[in-house]
Amino acid sequence: MSGRKRVAKKNGTPVIDPYLPGSGNFGYRVSRYELELEYKVAINRLAGAATITAVTLAELATFTLDLSDALAVSKVTVNGRRPSQFRTQAGKLHVTLAERLPAGAAMTIAVRYGGTPRPIRSHWGEVGFEELTEGALVAGQPNGAASWFPCDDHPSAKASFRVQISTESNYFAIANGKPLSRRARAGMTTWSYEQAEPTSTYLVTLQIGAYSRQRISKNGVEIFAVLPDRLRTNFDTDFGRQSQMMKLFVKLFGPYPLASGYTVVVTDDDLEIPLEAQGISIFGANHCDGQRNSERLIAHELAHQWFGNSVTVQRWRHIWLHEGFACYAEWLWSEHCGERSADEHARHYHQKLLNSAQDLVLADPGPRDMFDDRVYKRGALTLHALRKQIGDADFFALLKDWTSRHRHGSVVTDDFTDLAARYSDDSLRALWAAWLYSPKVPPLDGWM
């Protein structure tokens, strides 16, 4: 599903998602992005050529793409022809076609652009392309993709990607997907990657630094590490149980959803929080201290490959389907390791929620609270309450069905609650009413 059938409005203007009214675009659907980029680390300068393959959903005379005002556009063509006009304004590239395109028409958009990339300011801080001390990273969630390429930046707008990035040869560059080639010439190295599986724009990333790459697991799903050599010893301690994590999550959630394996990047800088991308998780040097203090975060980011990256929300109000599931995966890993059980985690965080403000509706927390820790913990508690009601066999069968049925797709809360009903002999309406749609935190036991 495209997520565009029901359109919200803000001040009378149609928007795709009221949580991010400025993101996303109407009139077409993108199937593929091909990016040819050059980035000069020393001067933070990005030059790009984007080729976007799309189909029109309605007759089009004009259309827009999301693109940061920090990047200037020098040329646009649509199906090989120059448009009658293009301009950038308020985070959008506006294109006026020389001739209208009918609904259902193929559309190849080519954009040349460049500038000094910077993060996009949002309710949740700065997101997108960010300079490091020596290199760069992209932290795209939820609307940061436009900080480095023109796109339809909305989670339900999934496409395949090819990313070619040229940078100074003393740096390692990684993007999503399978590595295709690596060519060095005149002090620059060009790296090419192919992400075949449908991917949301916010989950596309670029990581550049003084890194080296190593395969750390050959059995089952391939796992790779990309990090500075100075952190290698700490990494072996902090991330040493990833193979066991992968094995557990494949058992509980179903097959790993990507053919290209899983890569962990550790930057040479500290990061406030780790972040997920399609097939990649990014951690800071502070998460790699040799003390194994970040293992729950390692489990959390790995779980996002199923919950959030493969199965992705249509609109951000449903974000508990990402964060609640990834948080519950932390508890499942702890339980598997013989440490605190999921039930013990649930009781601990239930008490914390009772002591917090009870003004958040999990199924629609509002844009400012969509990354609030209460969404994570209450989402995990909702799953634990469901597990207790339907039993382990049906609960884990449901999770596998969920990840299989909606693999590389887009979902809303009703999709999950409707599917869960098939795994319960009793009505789950009271459970959903209490945990998803009421701000009051229900009792963990005997709430029905």
The reported pLDDT for the residue numbered 299 is 98
pLDDT band at 5 (very low <50, low <70, confident <90, very high): very low
Same domain, yes or no: 252 and 285? yes
Residues 282-286 have a mean pLDDT of 98
Residue pLDDT, tens place only, 184-213: 999 999 999 999 999 999 999 999 999 999
Q: Within a domain: residue 343? A: yes
Phi, psi of 231, rounded to the nearest 5 degrees: -100, 5
pLDDT digits (tens, 9 = 90+) for 353-365: 999 999 999 999 9
The mean pLDDT of 236-257, rounded to a whole number, is: 97
**Number of domain units in the chain:** 3
Given pLDDT bands bounded at 50, 70 and 90, which one contains residue 6? very low
Mean pLDDT within 221-238: 97
**Token pair 């009918």: residue:** 102
Q: Is residue 445 in a domain?
A: no
Give the contacts of 140 (CB within 8 A, at least 6 positions apart): 127, 128, 147, 201, 202, 203, 204, 205, 277
Same domain, 27 and 83: yes
Catalytic residue among 193, 301, 330, 423: 301
Please tell me the predicted confidence (pLDDT) of residue 387. Answer: 97
Whether residues 12 and 149 share a domain: the answer is yes
Q: Residue 149 CA to chain centroid, in angstroms?
A: 16
Whether residue 271 is found in the same domain as residue 327: no
252 assigned to some structural domain = yes
Q: Are residues 397 and 281 in the same domain?
A: no
Length of the chain: 448
Single-letter amino acid, residue 329: A
Q: Are residues 301 and 316 in the same domain?
A: no
The residue from 284, 305, 326 where one domain ends is: 305
Choice between 217 and 116, residue whose per-residue pLDDT is larger: 116
Q: What is residue 10's predicted lDDT score, i.e. its pLDDT? A: 54
pLDDT tens readout for residues 33-62: 999 999 999 999 999 999 999 999 999 999
In this predicted structure, the answer to whether residue 271 has a pLDDT above a threshold of 90 is yes
Note the pLDDT of residue 218. Answer: 75
Q: What is the CATH number of the domain that holds 65?
A: 2.60.40.1730
List residues forming the annotated binding site: 300, 304, 323
| pLDDT tens digits along 313-362 | 999 999 999 999 999 999 999 999 999 999 999 999 999 999 999 999 99
The alpha carbon torsion through 339, 345, 347, 348 (nearest 10 deg) reads 100
> Confidence band (pLDDT; 50, 70, 90) for 2?
very low
Residues 54 and 109 in one domain: yes
Lookup: tokens for 257: 């959803």
Does the residue 442 lie in any domain?
Answer: no
Q: Does 259 map to a domain?
A: yes
Binding-site residue numbers for Zn(2+) are 300, 304, 323
Specify whether 349 is located in the same domain as 300: no
Known catalytic residue at 376: yes
Q: Of the residues 39, 171, 211, 376, which is catalytic?
A: 376
Of residues 143 and 1, more confidently modeled:
143
The mean pLDDT value for 297-301 works out to: 98
Domain finish residue from 305, 327, 342: 305
Core vs surface per residue 107-117: b (16+ CB within 10 A) or e: bebebebbbeb
Facing residues of 303 across strands? none
Let me know whether 13 and 158 are in one domain.
yes
Question: Could you tell me the pTM of the whole model?
Answer: 0.95
- pLDDT score at 1: 28
Q: Same domain, yes or no, for 271 and 321?
A: no
Closest CA to 41 of 185, 137, 144: 137
pLDDT(237) > 70: yes
d(CA 132, CA 44): 10
Res 448: pLDDT: 52
Extract the runs of DSSP E, i.e. beta strands, from 16-59. 28-40, 45-56
**How far from each other are the two terminal CA atoms of the chain, in whole angstroms?**
33
Strand, helix or coil at 441? Answer: coil
Q: Are 152 and 31 in contact (CB under 8 A)?
A: no
Within a domain: 219: yes
Lowest mean pLDDT among 142-151, 213-222, 270-279, 283-292: 213-222
Tokens representing 90 are 């308020």
> For the sheet containing 206-209, what is the strand order?
120-122, 125-132, 135-139, 206-209, 172-175
- Does residue 198 lie within any of the structural domains? no
Percent of the chain past pLDDT 90, that is, above it, reads: 94
Question: Does some domain include residue 424?
Answer: yes
Other Cβ atoms less than 10 A from the Cβ of 14: the count is 10
Domain finish residue from 278, 305, 332: 305
Which strands, in side-by-side order, build the sheet including 275-277? Answer: 212-217, 223-227, 262-266, 280-283, 275-277
CATH code where residue 235 lies = 3.30.2010.30
List b or e across 255-286, with b for residues whose CB sees 16 or more CB atoms inside 10 angstroms.
ebbbebbbbbbbbbbebeebbbbbbbbbbbbe
Active site residue 301: yes
Residue 4: per-residue pLDDT: 33
Residues 252 and 275 in one domain: yes
Average pLDDT in the chain:
95
Tell me the residue range of the domain where 384 lies. 312-435
- At 423, which CATH number? 1.10.390.10
Together in a domain, 67 and 107: yes
According to DSSP, the residues that pair with 94 across neighbouring strands are 64, 87
Identify any residues that bridge with 111 across adjacent strands, giving them in sequence order.
50, 76
With a cut of 70, say whether residue 275 has pLDDT above it. yes
